[in-house]
Amino acid sequence: MEPRNPARLVVDPGGDADTLLAFIDRHALEVEAILITHGHLDHAGGVAALRRGLAERAAPAPDVIGPDERDAFLLASIADQARHFGLEGLENATVDRFVQEGEVLDYAGCRLHVLHVPGHTPGHVVFVDKAARFAFVGDVLFRGTVGRTDFAYGDGPLLVSSIKDKLLPLTKESGGAAIRDDITVVPGHGGLTTLDTEAAGNPFLQG
C-alpha cells in the first residue's frame, strides 16, 4: 500500500488560492483544516477560494477555524477592503467556527493551543504547538518588532501586555520544570524567530 500523505494545515491564506491549490495538487496533500489568526485581508482573503477548490477535490472539505469572534467584522469586510486597495480576487471569509482562549485543536497530528492575543486586531489568536515547540503568531510578533496598532480598533499597550503575559511565559512551561525550551515563532510576514530571542532583544518588549 502506498503510504498516505499526512494531512496538512493551511494557516492564513491571504490570497493566491490558485498557487496554493497547484502546490497541494503537485504534492498530493490532504488539507484537514484552514486556520485563521485574524481577520485582515492579507491573512484571510484567500480562505473562500481555497475552501471551494479543496471541496471540489475531496470530501470532506477542510474545517475553517478561527479567529476569535471579535474579528468577525473584519472577515465580513475583506471584499470592501480589497476594493479600497484596488486588489482583485479577495473575498469575505466565513468560518465553520470561531475559537476562544484556552481551546485545544487537534489537526494534522498537531495539538494546537489557542491563545487570544488582542491589540493588532480585537480577535487575534495565536496557535501554539507546545510539544513541537512552535507558534503561528499572525501579525502579533515579528523579528525585532510587533504588529501595527494604528487602526481605529488597534491597541498598542494591549498588544505588548498580551505578548508579555501570554506568549513569553510559554518558554518556561516545558515538561521538565527546570528546562527552558524555546519556541519557534512563525510570523505572518518575514522570517522565523523565537520567543526567547524576542524577549531578550525586541525593543517593544523591554522594561
Shortest separation between residue 139's beta carbon and Zn ion, angstroms: 4
Residue window 142-171: x/- pattern of binding to Zn ion, with contact defined by CB under 5 A: ------------------------------
Q: Take residue 100 and report the three cell numbers written for it.
A: 476562544
Where do the DSSP E strands lie in the chain? 7-11, 30-35, 63-65, 104-107, 110-116, 125-129, 134-138, 141-142, 145-146, 184-187, 193-194
Please say which residue, 14 or 53, places its beta carbon nearer to Zn ion.
Answer: 14
Pick the closest to residue 204 from 152, 142, 151 (CA basis).
142
Please say which residue, 68 or 139, places its beta carbon nearer to Zn ion.
Answer: 139
Measured distance between the N- and C-terminal CA atoms of the chain, rounded to whole angstroms: 57
Per CB under 5 A, 12 contacts Zn ion = no
35 in Cβ contact with 10 (< 8 Å): yes
Which residues, numbered 115-144, are part of the site for Zn ion (CB under 5 A)?
139
Residue window 14-53: x/- pattern of binding to Zn ion, with contact defined by CB under 5 A: --------------------------x-------------
| Residues making contact with Zn ion (CB under 5 A) | 40, 139
